Amino acid sequence: MRVILSSLLMSLGFLAAQAQAAPALPHADIRQSGFVYCVNGQVNTFNPQKASSGLTVDTLAAQLYDRLLDVDPYTYRLVPELAESWEVLDHGATYRFHLRSGVQFQSTAWFTPRRALNADDVVFTFQRIFDRSHPWHNINGNSFPYFDSLQFADTVKSVRKINSRTVEFRLARPDASFLWHLATHYASVMSAEYADHLAAADRQEQFDREPVGTGPFLLGEYRAGQYIRLQRNHRYWRGVPLMPQVVVDLGSGGTGRLSKLLTGECDVLAWPAASQLTVMRDDPRLRMTLRPGMNIAYLAFNTNKAPMNNPAVRHALALAINNERLMQSIYYGTAETAASILPRASWAYDNASAITEYNPEKARAQLKALGLENMTLQLWVPTSSQAWNPSPLKTAELIQADMAQIGVNVVIVPVEGRFQEARLMDMDHDLTLAGWSTDSNDPDSFFRPLLSCAAIRSQTNYAHWCNSEFDAVLRNALDSQQLASRIEAYNQAQKILARELPVLPLASSLRLQAHRADIKGLVLSPFGNASFAGVSRDDAGDKKP
């Protein structure tokens, strides 16, 4: 906890300093030189490796950084990014990447690179994450939540430079999911030269706060709680982005964001509330984009605390939740009730998975048989809209009402940002409303980060559930490159979850995005936000009747 709190305090200090004397949001000139992207969120770090979810991973990483690999948003297949090709050797225990030549890092107000990307940058990036003895591993805390949940520090034996454009990863054993994890935004590639520059000046903490990447946009200005200004990277290897700048508006939520979209203060509205769909569809000045989402909303039971440590109690409480009402009142037809922690779009989804029945009478009888009438439980819930749930607080209130019908008093505890992660790890809560979205098409990116034993330490397993049988099944799923073998293992994993019920899957939602009609070239991916490099403004678009 000392590490978590220390990192948290440093982040808060950084944000407070940035917020001093903050000017008004710079909308005046943006329509001539860029666009405004409105989203409700917080920034605790600009390095996605150090984040467990949120704005940095979902939106900013695709603008600031690149990865070795990407996932095509339409075919769901791995495609080259910084690595132009790769090889899988030793039955999946060795991976070799061949890098593009001439990829330039961003030139910012705080750093001017003197060379292009090479193998040293890739080795530095991943050694910092995986090598606990690396001099940069503990800078700004030693937590790399996504990779910690996968136990990559124990999985990766070595990352070595073969030559300036070739890097090789050797694993302790075969891992069929490895390439997919390197295609997530958590695996953004950093500059070793920038790290050396900061180390020479003894300013290492700056590394995760003042980013230097190879992405299409660089950080121009940041005002905590208000906005982030991104400026186009003229050295971008794919070509200069069409828009000179993007302003990410952080300053409003709920109906305030919709109002800004309608008045033109926002050009793009990320994750609009499903209840606002009718208004947006009926406005000829707006356009809507809907895509299947690789996400899941769920209710996590704190299995480390009585009575939530009893599967019978968890099953009884699950019977009380009216899933149909959640679909109608929260998602308005933009989600489907979840029967598994995996979305139906996943290739490993078990079609035999069953949605928990809604039966309050049965729930009440089971709790009475367990001697647990008139319980009081704390339900912790994030306050802002999420990719997996547009209205978490309203969802919590509906669950609260459902539980009241069976004699269970639920106290809602709103929590925010990094406070949620830190507080959930002290294990005082009974329930938490949570969710997960990933930019990977591999099932492992759901199972291990959310429910493995290692994910408890990495702060992503809110259920505090550790099951050796489940972990062994996940390990077996990674040993084979054969899809049929992996599907069989993941079906077994889903059956264990249905039996033990450490989390109750609630919904898998469509990804929604609304924008002004004159904004062209936006790509909405099931795996997270895509680059804004191809976004442009059609001056005639907003004038159409």
Domain regions of the chain by residue span: 295-509
The answer to whether the beta carbons of residues 507 and 501 sit under 8 Å apart is no
Q: How confident is the model at residue 63, as a pLDDT?
A: 97
Please state, in angstroms and rounded to a whole number, the distance separating the CA atoms of residues 545 and 539. Answer: 14
DSSP-assigned beta bridge partners for residue 245: 34, 231
Contact call for residues 66 and 82 (beta carbons, < 8 A): yes
Give Cβ neighbours of residue 455 (< 8 Å, ≥ 6 apart): 148, 149, 448, 449, 461
Rounded Cα–Cα distance for residues 3 and 10 (Å): 11
Q: Would you state the pLDDT for residue 136?
A: 98
Q: What is the C-alpha separation between 416 and 12, in angstroms, rounded?
A: 13
Q: Is there a contact between 369 and 539 (Cβ–Cβ < 8 Å)?
A: no
Beta strands in 355-457 (DSSP E): 376-382, 409-415, 431-437
Predicted TM-score of the model (pTM)? 0.80
Rounded CA separation 14/9 (Å): 9
Residue 299 CB partners (closer than 8 Å, separation 6+): 321, 399, 431, 432, 433, 434, 503, 504, 506
User: β-pairing, 376-382 with 409-415?
Assistant: parallel
CB 510, CB 274: distance < 8 Å: no
Distance between CA atoms of 164 and 117, rounded to whole angstroms?
Answer: 9
pLDDT at res. 67? 97
- Phi and psi for 511 in degrees, rounded to 5? -85, 125
How far apart (Å, rounded) are the C-alpha atoms in residues 186 and 56?
10
253 within 8 A of 382, measured Cβ to Cβ: no
Are 519 and 535 a contacting pair, CB within 8 Å? yes
Cα(193)–Cα(121) distance, integer angstroms: 8
- The pLDDT of residue 8 is 35
Among 179, 293, 200, smallest CA distance to 529 is for: 293
Which region, left, alpha or beta, applies to residue 264 given φ > 0 means left and ψ of -120 to 50 means alpha?
left
Distances (CA, A) of 35 to 86, 219, 230, 318, 336: 36, 15, 10, 44, 32
According to the model, what pLDDT value does residue 527 have?
Answer: 72
Residues 6 or more apart from 448 whose CB is under 8 A from it? 149, 150, 151, 454, 455, 474
Contact predicate 526/292, CB 8 Å: yes
Distance CA 389, CA 435 (A): 8
Domain 295-509 annotated CATH 3.40.50.2300: no
For residue 381, give both structure tokens.
């819930």
Per-residue pLDDT of the chain (545 residues), as tens digits, is 333 333 433 343 444 334 333 345 555 567 678 999 998 878 889 999 998 777 898 899 999 999 999 988 788 889 999 999 999 999 999 999 999 999 999 999 999 999 999 999 999 999 999 999 999 999 999 999 889 888 888 899 999 999 999 999 999 999 999 999 999 999 999 999 999 999 999 999 999 999 999 999 999 999 988 999 999 999 999 999 999 999 999 876 555 778 899 999 999 998 887 788 888 888 999 998 888 778 999 999 999 999 999 999 999 999 999 999 999 999 988 898 999 999 988 899 999 999 999 999 999 999 999 999 889 999 999 887 777 888 899 999 999 999 999 999 999 999 875 545 555 556 578 999 999 888 788 999 999 999 999 899 878 899 999 999 999 999 999 988 888 999 999 999 999 999 999 999 999 988 888 999 999 999 887 776 689 999 999 865 444 43
* Dihedral angle sign, alpha carbons of residues 319, 324, 330, 335: positive
What integer pLDDT is reported at residue 65 of this predicted model?
98
Question: At which residue do the structure tokens 């949570």 appear?
Answer: 434
